[in-house]
Amino acid sequence: MSRAVIPFTTQAAALGVALALPAFVGANSYALFVATQLGIYIIAAIGLNLLAGYAGQVSLGHAAFVAIGAYSVALLTVDHHWPFWAAAVVGMVLAAGLGVLAALPAFRLNTWYFAFITLAFALVFEKMIVEWRWLTKGFAGVVGVPPPSAFGYEFGPRPLYYTVVAVTVIAFILVRNVVHSRFGRAFVAVRDVEPAALAVGASPQRTKLVAFVISAALAGIAGAFFAVQKTVVTPDDFTADFSIFFLLTVVLGGLGTLWGPIIGALVFFLIPELLAGLQSWRMLIYGGMLLGLMLFAPHGLYGALRQAWRRFAPSPAKASAAADSSHAREHPPIAGLGLVISGLRKQFGGVQALDGVDLSVPAGSCYAIVGPNGSGKTTLLNLASGYYVPDAGSVKIGDVEALGSGAQRIAARGVGRTFQTPRLIADLTALDNVMLGAYTRERAGLLSTALRLPFARAEARRLRQEALGFLQFVGVADRADIEAGEIPHGQQRLIEIARAMMGGARLILLDEPAAGLSMSELERLERLIMRICGLGATIVIVEHHLDLVANVATHVTVLDRGTVLAAGKPAAVFNDERVMRAYMGERALKAGVPA
């Protein structure tokens, strides 16, 4: 992920201005009121950006989650005299909980279902606020929300402002930490390349859920402050327009950039002041802006800034410092996992892709599967790694039956794989792509990651070193800081292998790793495969390049039209008549085999 363009000094200055503001304006001034409100909106926008920008789930009903926080605080403090802090926590939990209940079915479906369901949720919630008069006081709203207090001291506008600033900064830092952690990498993977997320053991559903929970909780806390700042909470505060406003804030600042929501909210607060006379045109302007931004500046103001910055100050071609700092280490041995497949069948419509395949891959072997195109090799790999469900048969990984487990659970069991076309996340650096591989291995949970607890930090550091080690192991350490989309095809394959190894894979499935490689790359690949096998890992390689297979494989199975044609040691198998026939056609045989 590209690091902040905004230099540290600017960040510090922005914070300084924010902290110094109350010194220059009156405690009851409009400016302080607006500044507090700005902070509240930024909190919600940061959450929405995490969800929409990083995890790719556009929420069109964010106002509802803010409303849940606001109403929780208003009702609990006014009617039940709860302290603000406890009520705020309830608001957060309720916002996240109700949101998850509503959005649960959407996580399994296309992303736009989520957009629709959040939109509908907001609409229904708005109606319910009015309907449940006994609870919410209907249109009149809840009035007289008391300010927060601590140790008997009641917060005036200034302390409230400072509290909001503090929460904003904390929210920013927590979200930044999450974005730069395995969770953030998984968000982007799920957004851009779902099969890659599955391959590293990250469940797309759970990943989207995590992003949503954080996002809704932040909206809830924003709502809590919203209630105490305005002291009155009414249904009119949380209309569909309010949701659009948040979305526009994030799109304006830049979807999927850390500073986007802050820049967006700042600009947004200036615009209404400038366009005060155009109040009645507001929603029309919002619509026009959303459309224009998506068409001409999909990465918002921050993206435009970054582009301009790069043009004027092109980053010096950084020979990755990381590469030199870590010295080549030998990797500890890997305890390979065996793979036993029996009676595997898979049919696609009228085509029997696999018709009862048996094969047994001993632990620690380098096992090649060859055969003409269309013989079912890739189908076999996709079945073994859980991407397809077979019609019949069994797949045992180690001693455990893997059939019926999803792809990400099989991955978590120590099965790594690569794809025929490398599936790297183009927006992440090579290093981040490799670190994504460790997704299931990382112990630090969401909370300790967000708080950067010492052990989480130590783990992150260790994994970073390890990832660099793997990049070095596959021979592309000099690419560590380059975005994967910019890296040549051949090296992408190597990075994909590093990602699989990073996941602690004990069984690695390689799908045509040699396709499209140059001669020199091919030699590197060959050495690499032998070294990985040398460490003890089991490798299953589907490959056309018979030279490569002959050199690296200890066992070969030949598939032809979905059945096993021959199996055994490479030398013996390649001498088999039937194999030649499958490869070369009937006439090759008649022509005679060289002695």
Residue numbers 358-417 binding other proteins by CB under 8 A = 372-376, 382, 387
What DSSP string describes 178-238? HHTSHHHHHHHHHHH-HHHHHHTT--HHHHHHHHHHHHHHHHHHHHHHHHHHHSEE-GGGG
CB 427, CB 476: distance < 8 Å? no
Q: What is residue 338's three-state secondary structure?
A: coil
Work out which of 11, 13, 127, 309 binds other proteins, going by CB under 8 A.
Answer: 127
Q: Judged by CB under 8 A, does residue 547 bind other proteins? A: yes
Q: Least distance (Å) from other proteins to the CB of residue 138?
A: 10
Show contacts with other proteins in window 223-242 (CB under 8 A). Answer: 240
CB 283, CB 244: distance < 8 Å? yes
Q: What is residue 303's three-state secondary structure?
A: helix
Closest by alpha carbon to 180, among 320, 1, 389? 1
Closest by alpha carbon to 235, among 123, 78, 95? 123
Q: Considering the complex, state which of residue 59 and residue 77 has its C-beta at the smaller distance from other proteins.
A: 59
Work out which of 5, 120, 271, 446 binds other proteins, going by CB under 8 A.
Answer: 120
Show contacts with other proteins in window 553-592 (CB under 8 A). Answer: 561-562, 570-571, 574-575, 580-581, 583-589, 591
Show contacts with other proteins in window 334-353 (CB under 8 A). Answer: 348-351, 353
The values of phi and psi at residue 538, to 5°, are -90, 135
Distance from the Cα of residue 311 to its chain's centroid: 29
Work out which of 147, 441, 546, 554 binds other proteins, going by CB under 8 A.
Answer: 546
Q: Least distance (Å) from other proteins to the CB of residue 508?
A: 20
CA distance 216 to 68: 10
365: which 2 tokens?
A: 């072997």
Q: Least distance (Å) from other proteins to the CB of residue 69?
A: 20
Q: In sequence order, which ranges of 475-552 are alpha helices (DSSP H)?
A: 489-502, 519-534, 546-552
Binding mask 47-66 for other proteins (x = CB under 8 A): ---------x-x-x------
401: which 2 tokens?
A: 């039956």
Work out which of 12, 291, 392, 447 binds other proteins, going by CB under 8 A.
Answer: 291
Kind plus residue range of the DSSP H or E element containing 101: helix 84-103
Q: Judged by CB under 8 A, does residue 298 bind other proteins? A: yes
Q: Least distance (Å) from other proteins to the CB of residue 527?
A: 16
Q: Which one of 10-18, 151-159, 221-229, 286-294 is the stretch in contact with other proteins (CB under 8 A)? A: 286-294
Pairing of β 142-143 and β 232-233: antiparallel
Q: Judged by CB under 8 A, does residue 328 bind other proteins? A: no
Q: Considering the complex, state which of residue 84 and residue 387 has its C-beta at the smaller distance from other proteins.
A: 387
Q: Determine the Cα angle at 410 with ends 406 and 416, to 5°.
A: 130
Q: Least distance (Å) from other proteins to the CB of residue 558?
A: 12
Q: Considering the complex, state which of residue 121 and residue 367 has its C-beta at the smaller distance from other proteins.
A: 121
Q: Judged by CB under 8 A, does residue 14 bind other proteins? A: no
Q: Least distance (Å) from other proteins to the CB of residue 447?
A: 28
Q: Considering the complex, state which of residue 168 and residue 557 has its C-beta at the smaller distance from other proteins.
A: 557
Distances (CA, A) of 72 to 118, 137, 243, 379: 19, 13, 19, 52
Q: Which one of 28-36, 226-234, 278-286, 444-452 is the stretch in contact with other proteins (CB under 8 A)? A: 278-286
Closest by alpha carbon to 504, among 272, 366, 335, 388? 335
Determine how many CB atoms are found less than 10 A away from the CB of residue 398.
19
Closest by alpha carbon to 505, among 285, 339, 265? 339
Show contacts with other proteins in window 485-504 (CB under 8 A). Answer: 485-486, 488-489
Q: Considering the complex, state which of residue 203 and residue 440 has its C-beta at the smaller distance from other proteins.
A: 203
Q: Least distance (Å) from other proteins to the CB of residue 445?
A: 27
Work out which of 2, 340, 550, 568 binds other proteins, going by CB under 8 A.
Answer: 550
Q: Least distance (Å) from other proteins to the CB of residue 261?
A: 15
Show contacts with other proteins in window 77-116 (CB under 8 A). Answer: 102, 104-106, 108-109, 111-113, 115-116
Residue type present at position 350: G
Residue type present at position 321: A
Q: Least distance (Å) from other proteins to the CB of residue 415?
A: 18
Pairing of β 400-401 and β 232-233: unpaired
Question: How many residues sit close enough to other proteins to count as binding (CB under 8 A)?
Answer: 88
8-state DSSP, 50: I
CA distance 495 to 214: 31
Binding mask 152-181 for other proteins (x = CB under 8 A): ------------------------------
Q: Least distance (Å) from other proteins to the CB of residue 521?
A: 9
Kind plus residue range of the DSSP H or E element containing 342: strand 339-348
Q: Least distance (Å) from other proteins to the CB of residue 46?
A: 18
Q: Least distance (Å) from other proteins to the CB of residue 358?
A: 20
Q: Considering the complex, state which of residue 111 and residue 405 has its C-beta at the smaller distance from other proteins.
A: 111
- Positive or negative, the Cα torsion across 405, 408, 414, 418? positive
Show contacts with other proteins in window 241-260 (CB under 8 A). Answer: 244, 247, 251
Show contacts with other proteins in window 516-535 (CB under 8 A). Answer: 516-519
